[in-house]
Amino acid sequence: MVSRVIPVDTFDLVIFGGTGDLARRKILPGLFRRFCSGQMPDEARIIGAARTDFDSKGYRNLVAEAIAEFGGKTLADCADLPRFLERLEYIKIDARGDEGWADLRDMIRNDVITAYYFSVGPGLFGDLAQRLNSWKIATSDSRIVVEKPFGRDLTTAKELNASLAAEFDETQIYRIDHYLGKETVQNLMAIRFGNLLFEPLWNSQYIDHIQISVAESVGVGGRGAYYDKSGAMRDMVQNHLMQLLCLIAMEPPSKFDPDAVRDEKLKVIRALEPVEPHELVRGQYSEGPEGPSYREEAGDPKTFTESYVALKAKIANWRWSGVPFYLRTGKRLKARASEIAVVFKKLPHSIFGDEGDEGQNILAIHLQPNEGITLDVTIKEPGPGGMRLAHVPLDMTFAETLGDQAEDAPDAYERLIMDVIRGNQTLFMRGDEVEAAWAWTDPIIEGWQRRNDVPKLYDAGSSGPDDALALLHRDLRKWRDIEP
């Protein structure tokens, strides 16, 4: 298979917060990779804009260091760094004042695509949007990219949406959820809608249940105080897990087009039933050999914020009636592993008698650390000894199946940034989707607050609190192992 890199049109991309952690860790190394692959044209420019005192030379040094630190091994082999650095400029700017805006206006070219990445706290989104227009920098073709957290509840999400909508049309707003930029997540759509095989089985008649797990082995570490204001429900479930659930559960859109896809995702979120308190588990990690307890890292010995959530979601429509979606996510668990598992029903009748523990077919979409897809099937165990059955995975681990191509596959951020330049919003969240997700999440969080709910402690390095195991045991099911 030959990989095809189609260059995008020339652009000016302004990264507000261009000196920050996200820009250094993800955005700039990602852009360099696209440059090395030939996708970013030579005339394109990246303009860092932040409060730090830098000139363009100082900024280029910062970016070179960031690429060396976070770029990974493929980037170390790319000889194009000096040429890439020449594409970089820097402007010292104040999102809340006048400093830097006239310089930015003079620098932006009006005959190329312009995109503005808001890699700053959400408290600055409205200020940036407003100044981009009042300084007549943005045009009706410009795109703005905003990062999570997109609100901390329905009210704040609506306020944020309104502050952006006052300045930009929804077709110009790109709300990033980097999970949607992952190769396997897109492959999930290719598998569902590009094969005849799965879609006829994709319903309550054949699917027993679905598990969506996003497990991290690290704790909150130095981000403890910041994380403590949100917790796993806001930080992971409302956005990343919800997006994965939508892609699994949505009806086939009539075409692969931004609004057709997002309309179907929205219908799923709106069809979610409220979650009952007994179908919800929240946890907090205790101290262990790997590090201090959550409370210590959060700097608050009494905090009730959760570092773990497990829940049973139900979708009230014909396709999914009676099929639970079990969601779980947590920090300081036994491994870093994220996957979606579609567990099919047992056979209605076994012709193999006592030998016939056929198991269940499971389609597992592995998101990290190794992206790939497996399909567990039953076969006859090879060799003599009668009809013995074995369950084996048909394995499409991308690194093995696609070789160098998988190695060179763009990271989620760079893929999404190129989509912004192309003007393709399919993999970005629409404002109404974000609000609907908060409308479902808010009562869960409010319920915890009202009941003064105390999270269950779980051992660092374990699979989470025992109550989460019980959540599935009660339904005569069990979680899949968290394995890297």
Active site residues: 240
Considering the complex, what minimum distance in angstroms separates the CB of residue 47 from ligand NAD?
A: 13
φ, ψ of residue 386 in degrees (nearest 5)? 85, -165
Instruction: Supply angle C-alpha 233, 237, 242, rounded to 5.
Output: 150
Query: Which CB sits closer to ligand NAD, 180 or 323?
Result: 180
Residue 238 CA to residue 228 CA, distance in Å, equals: 16
Shortest separation between residue 148's beta carbon and ligand NAD, angstroms: 5
Which parts of this chain interact with ligand NAD (CB under 6 A)? 16-23, 25, 50-52, 93-96, 119-122, 124, 147-149
| One-letter identity of residue 365 | I
| CB burial of residue 23 (10 Å; 0-12, 13-18, 19+) | buried
What is the radius of gyration, based on Cα positions, of the chain?
Answer: 24
Facing residues of 269 across strands? none
Query: Exposed (0-12), middle (13-18) or buried (19+): which is 397, by Cβ within 10 Å?
Result: middle
| Helix extents (H) in 337-430 | 398-402, 404-407, 412-422
Taking the complex as a whole, the smallest distance from the CB of residue 59 to ligand NAD amounts, in Å, to 11
The span from the CA of 303 to the CA of 284, in Å, is 10
**Residue whose CB is nearest to ligand NAD in the complex, by number:** 20
User: How many Å from the N-terminal Cα to the C-terminal Cα in the chain?
Assistant: 28
Give least dist CB 171 to ligand NAD, A.
22
At closest approach, how far in Å is the CB of 157 from ligand NAD?
Answer: 14
Nearest CB to ligand NAD, comparing residues 81 and 176: 176
- In angstroms, the CA 311 to CA 480 distance is 15
Which residues have CB under 8 Å from 147's CB, separation 6+?
22, 118, 119, 122, 176
Nearer to ligand NAD by Cβ, of 15 and 81: the residue is 15
Q: How far is the CB of 214 from ligand NAD (least distance, A)?
A: 14
* Interatomic CA distance for residues 7 and 28, integer angstroms: 18
Structure letter (DSSP) for residue 255: S
Q: How far is the CB of 92 from ligand NAD (least distance, A)?
A: 8
With respect to ligand NAD, which residue has the nearer C-beta, 231 or 372? 231
Find the DSSP H helices in 149-273.
154-165, 183-194, 224-227, 232, 242-249, 258-271
Q: Compute the least distance from the CB of residue 335 to ligand NAD, in Å.
A: 21
* Bridge partners, 378 (sequence order): 391
Separation between Cα atoms, residue 252 and residue 193, nearest integer Å: 7
Q: How far is CA 17 from the centre of its chain?
A: 20
Q: Which CB atom, from 214 or from 268, has the smaller least distance to ligand NAD? A: 214
Are 378 and 355 in contact by the 8 Å Cβ rule? The answer is no
For ligand NAD, which is the closer residue by CB, 114 or 239?
Answer: 239
In terms of CB distance, is 51 or 415 closer to ligand NAD?
51
User: Is 279 within 8 Å of 444 (Cβ atoms)?
Assistant: no
Q: Please, which residue, 20 or 29, has the CB nearer to ligand NAD? A: 20
